[in-house]
Amino acid sequence: MGATKSAARAVRRVWQQVAEGVYRIDRAHVNCYLVVTPDGMTLVDAGLPDSFSGLRVVLASFGAKPSDIDAVVLTHGHFDHVGMSSRLTHEHHVPHFVHDEDRKLARHPYRYDHEAPRAGYLLRYPKAIPVIAGMATAGALSVRGIEAAGALHPDQPMDVPGRLVPVWSPGHTYGHCGFTLPGSGILFAGDALVTLDPYTGETGPRIVAKAATADSERALASLDALEATGARTVLPGHGEPWQQGIALAVSAARAVGAE
């Protein structure tokens, strides 16, 4: 009985309610977010394959199941953001949306441009080794691509529960978009601004290292668009939520620069 309770607690720790109707699912330092509204549910990003257990538990907490999700909106198409996508599509028939510039990447989530070799980062930043190893254990090496619709246009509310508004923020990938949740002060920043960089292990607001970023100069420039949202709460693709406002987060990220 004790072992069963410990296992249940371990599962519960992978998700938390971060705002009214917004649930964070965290697996191996990769976040995705379930938005629950009276009109239905939208999942922002699809994490890693092993994120599915946390998603299923949070859904069950209010009597829902994966097939009840109305849509998945992707900030970008990297493997650690489409990990559950194939399962959600083929087993549960949940439609996916991503910016046109990242549709090809979502189909082939390991074929992405980056400015610097990844291997060197693990030598320079040993704190990143357990982060990357944890991601691999959670299925990061076995992600299948997804065919996502490109019906996602910056600054135009989407026809999904929550009426999320895409924030054009390329640089990490060529089609990266964050999302605001109208009326909430929340910005889903994806990997345009994180509070943990998986490739350095460093924490605090920053852009992702050149090991996984296509164009770091453009990524730094995209911080302007994030700041313009005026968000009070920033929910990143990696790391803990930031509650001190987007302006302070952007200032900190600019101070760090591109690593």
pTM over 0.85: yes
Sign of CA dihedral 23, 241, 137, 74: positive
44 pLDDT above the threshold of 80: yes
What are the structural domains of the chain? 2-108+116-253 (3.60.15.10)
Kindly indicate the confidence band of residue 13, based on its pLDDT and cuts at 50, 70 and 90: low
Mean predicted confidence (pLDDT) in 110-114: 96
For 219-230, write each residue's pLDDT tens digit.
999 999 999 999
Count other Cβ atoms within 10 Å, centred on residue 138: 21
How far is residue 165's CA from residue 159's CA, in Å, rounded to a whole number? 10
2 pLDDT above the threshold of 50: no
Kindly indicate the confidence band of residue 151, based on its pLDDT and cuts at 50, 70 and 90: confident
